[in-house]
Amino acid sequence: MQSHQEYIQKKVNPVLESMVTQVLLERPDDLVPFMIKWLSDQAGLPPTASSAEFEELQKELGFWENRVKDLEARVVDPKDMKPADVDPDEDEEEDDDDDEADMPPPPASYMNKGQRSSVSAEAYGAWNKMEDADAYVAPDYPKTQEQKDRIAKTLESVFLFASLEEKELQVVIGAMVEKTAEVGTQIIREGDDGDVLYVVEEGTCECFKNINGEEKSVKIVHAGDNFGELALLYSCPRAASVFVKEKCILWQLDRETFNHIVKSGSAKKRSKYESFLASVSLLEGMEPYERSKIADALRTEKFKAGDCIVSQGDPGDKFFIVEEGEAIVTKSFVDGQIPQEVMQYKAGDYFGELALLHNEPRAANVFAKTEVKALVLDRRSFKRLLGPLEDILRRNTQKYATG
């Protein structure tokens, strides 16, 4: 009996406590699949997909293959063109298009995946030209300050808008239109052309896809989520039908503003941060495309000298990379001990990963020694984007034990 108790205390309890902590932090709707995935991640097992998910992926793949064939059928072979039909500037335009050929392709299944890692993937060519973003003037619909504050609060949790600077965010807020929808209202019809996206402020919507002639529910969209952006990003038909499940307050954004402001903002941000991320020791071994995904997900936070960035013992939900400035790390090794300085951070250093890797409280305090500008990944982005680096991060956590 005593051996059983020791086994539970030493082996079982630590795992269960970490898992319960993660469950309470993320509060998943589907608890059992979440716990299974969490245990698989901890054990380092490869991700698995259910047969239903695999079938959905196969169907989505078939849809895109058929669409590619349809587009190829419409393309005229240059060899079949008459001399007068050839555009003398065509080669130059094709060269320009090559610059965007390395953009990431659309996801295999929009409805079965979470938020995408990039909002700068739409291709532009002769059929889909984009004006100079600086010359574009977005619509500005009258709003009360209360409405603007509500939109700003809603967009805080929307990944698509994470890359926007404050000025760009205000342009997007001005261009949004408030829509109220009652239960049962159809917002989007599968297969239709799309020129707007929606952000949910209140209520829920349900997404349906026609699978083998039957309408099947594939996703529930909650407050803080967005939908409809796939058609804007990739100039493709609506991927699903969306109905109001609970009365909704939605904010609608038009295609032109999305492309000129949101997409352009993401591209500028990516360009700005890619070279810096390449200089971070943790990320230097990553492929450029992998670093670009991280650049898309980063948020910027600023701290004044003396500010506490993280506190020992607090729950952790962010990972930090110091872009500018210096920070001091202090730690209490026993309860009641005055915190001791154990190390310092400078530009290119990172911290905060320990709490996210082990689902434990913060292991130390971090204070801004000077004004600090930090690049921040939230828990969800950290788990999704830094998975391949987990072994490196775990090895490096020994630095916190010194002092």
> For residue 340, what is the domain's CATH number?
2.60.120.10
- Which range marks the domain in which residue 137 is found? 106-261
Domain boundary among the residues 214, 236, 261 is at: 261
User: Are 14 and 145 contained in the same domain?
Assistant: no
Q: What is the mean pLDDT of the chain?
A: 76
With a cut of 50, say whether residue 125 has pLDDT above it. Answer: no
Could you tell me if residue 52 is inside a domain?
A: no
Range ranked top by mean pLDDT from 43-57, 88-102, 135-149: 135-149
Distance CA 159, CA 298 (A): 10
Could you give the percent of the chain with pLDDT greater than 70?
A: 71
Could you tell me if residue 53 is inside a domain?
A: no
pLDDT of residue 20: 79
With a cut of 80, say whether residue 234 has pLDDT above it. Answer: no
Phi, psi angles (nearest 5°) of residue 307: -65, 145
Range ranked top by mean pLDDT from 67-76, 96-105, 198-207, 260-269: 198-207
At 249, the pLDDT band (50, 70, 90 cuts) reads very high
Q: Quick one: which of 233, 173, 171 has its CA closest to 201?
A: 173
Residue 380: both structure tokens together: 């969800």
Domain boundary among the residues 239, 261, 283 is at: 261
With a cut of 80, say whether residue 319 has pLDDT above it. Answer: yes
Residue 6: both structure tokens together: 């020791």
With a cut of 60, say whether residue 324 has pLDDT above it. Answer: yes
Cβ neighbors of 236 (< 8 A, separation 6 or more) are 67, 106, 230
Could you tell me if residue 86 is inside a domain?
A: no
Q: Quick one: which of 162, 169, 154 has its CA closest to 250?
A: 154
Burial class (CB in 10 A: 0-12, 13-18, 19+), 76: exposed
List alpha helices for 75-203, DSSP H: 90-98, 145-155, 166-175
Asked if 375 contacts 386 with a C-beta cutoff of 8 angstroms, the reply is: no
Q: Mean pLDDT across the stretch 15-29?
A: 75
User: Are 122 and 252 contained in the same domain?
Assistant: yes
pLDDT of residue 160: 77
pLDDT of residue 165: 78
User: Are 15 and 130 contained in the same domain?
Assistant: no
Reported as a single tens digit per residue, the pLDDT across 259-297 is 888 877 777 777 777 778 877 877 777 777 777 777 777
Largest CA distance in the chain: 91
Could you tell me if residue 176 is inside a domain?
A: yes
Q: Quick one: which of 276, 273, 275, 253 has its CA closest to 168?
A: 253
Global confidence as pTM: 0.48
With a cut of 60, say whether residue 126 has pLDDT above it. Answer: no
pLDDT of residue 43: 74
pLDDT of residue 46: 61
Reported as a single tens digit per residue, the pLDDT across 346-387 is 998 888 877 777 777 888 999 999 999 998 887 777 777 766
Could you tell me if residue 141 is inside a domain?
A: yes
With a cut of 60, say whether residue 106 has pLDDT above it. Answer: no
User: Are 248 and 303 contained in the same domain?
Assistant: no
User: Are 254 and 339 contained in the same domain?
Assistant: no
User: Are 242 and 305 contained in the same domain?
Assistant: no
User: Are 310 and 356 contained in the same domain?
Assistant: yes
Q: List 28's β-bridge partners, or say none.
A: none
Could you tell me if residue 266 is inside a domain?
A: no
Bridge pairing between strands 241-254 and 340-345: unpaired
User: Are 117 and 238 contained in the same domain?
Assistant: yes
pLDDT of residue 386: 65
Could you tell me if residue 91 is inside a domain?
A: no
With a cut of 50, say whether residue 82 has pLDDT above it. Answer: no
Range ranked top by mean pLDDT from 42-51, 68-77, 89-98, 200-209: 200-209
User: Are 257 and 310 contained in the same domain?
Assistant: no
Range ranked top by mean pLDDT from 27-41, 57-71, 210-224: 210-224
Could you tell me if residue 326 is inside a domain?
A: yes
pLDDT of residue 344: 93
User: Are 13 and 111 contained in the same domain?
Assistant: no
User: Are 388 and 343 contained in the same domain?
Assistant: yes
Whole-number Cα distances in Å, 231 to 103, 161, 194, 255: 16, 17, 5, 9
Lowest mean pLDDT among 47-61, 62-76, 121-135: 121-135
Residue 254: both structure tokens together: 């038009």
Range ranked top by mean pLDDT from 4-18, 184-198, 257-271, 379-393: 184-198
pLDDT of residue 146: 94
| Cβ neighbours of 125 (radius 10 Å) | 12
pLDDT of residue 99: 40
Q: Mean pLDDT across the stretch 73-92?
A: 46
pLDDT of residue 253: 95
Distance CA 118, CA 267 (A): 9
Q: Tell me 361's DSSP state.
A: B
Range ranked top by mean pLDDT from 37-46, 77-86, 196-205, 294-303: 196-205
Higher pLDDT among residues 94 and 8, named by residue: 8
User: Are 256 and 128 contained in the same domain?
Assistant: yes
With a cut of 70, say whether residue 116 has pLDDT above it. Answer: no
Count of the separate structural domains present in the chain: 3
At 325, the pLDDT band (50, 70, 90 cuts) reads very high
